[in-house]
Amino acid sequence: MGQASVVAIDGPAGSGKSTLGRALAARLGYLYFDTGVLYRAVTWLALQTGVDPADEGAVVALVERARPDVSRATRKDGRLYTVTIDGRDVTWDIRELAVDASVSVVSAHARLRQALLGVQRAIAARGRVVLVGRDIGTVVAPEADVKIYLDASPAVRAERRYRELLARGVITSLAEVQAEMRRRDEIDSGRAAAPLAPAPDAIVISSDCLSVDQEVKAVAELVTNRPGRDC
């Protein structure tokens, strides 16, 4: 058995996959790449330019004119990477509540997912990377050495998201967050292009009763041992 080079972590919004991915990458010394930032970047660009997020053709055209880019962190302001569009740093802009409300609609566009697939796969091909998203193990990196599907109950996911928004100074209510999360779950699971679902060979982990340290320890052991790869 050898240590895994590519780790795929999928799961619904609020399951804690980004937190796990960040901590795991730091522990292993791997690159952390949340593929969702690409869709957030495109969503932000659409909203800024007056493009309807539901207009697939117009959204894809945006990417053809101004492809988003993700690189190592360029500032020490808490970021884990830098997201740019035409050289403009939009790392924090893509976390706005307006982007939250439209990103699932944008990410459901089949042609857009295809347009961004090459970018994601190129990063995975570098190795020593933890990729986090909603279709990593099924579409982006189906040959990943270790595939994790991190899940959690709707109540736990909504509470986590609510606390995160409050910490960022966003004024909202738990009821609003719960309603938005239900809507996003329906879109993510029901879309025709790469619907949210565990890969057949993914290891499903519930984060409801686990601390982040426990999650990281469990997954790090899987990465080190690569269970089932040599059977």
Which of 16-20, 24-28, 190-194, 214-218 comes out lowest in average pLDDT?
190-194
Predicted pLDDT of residue 228: 47
Considering the entire predicted model, what is its pTM? 0.74
Q: Could you tell me if residue 230 is inside a domain?
A: no
Say if 1 falls within a structural domain: no
In a domain, 59, yes or no: yes
pLDDT 10s digits, 156-178: 888 888 888 888 888 889 999 88
Average confidence (pLDDT) over 174-195: 80
Q: Is residue 228 in a domain?
A: no
Neighbouring residues of 102: CB distance < 8 A, sequence distance ≥ 6: 43, 46, 47, 53
CATH code for position 30:
3.40.50.300
Does any domain span residue 231?
A: no
Here the contacts of 46-49 (C-beta below 8 Å, separation 24 or greater) are 46/102, 46/106, 47/98, 47/99, 47/102
| Domain ranges, residue 78 | 6-223
Question: Would residue 190 count as lying in a domain?
Answer: yes
The domain total for the chain is 1
Task: Give domain status of residue 158, yes or no.
Answer: yes
Encode pLDDT of 82-132 as tens digits: 899 998 999 999 999 899 999 989 988 989 989 999 888 988 888 889 999
Q: Is residue 168 part of a domain?
A: yes
pLDDT one-digit tens code per residue, 21-61: 999 999 998 889 888 899 999 999 999 999 999 999 999 99
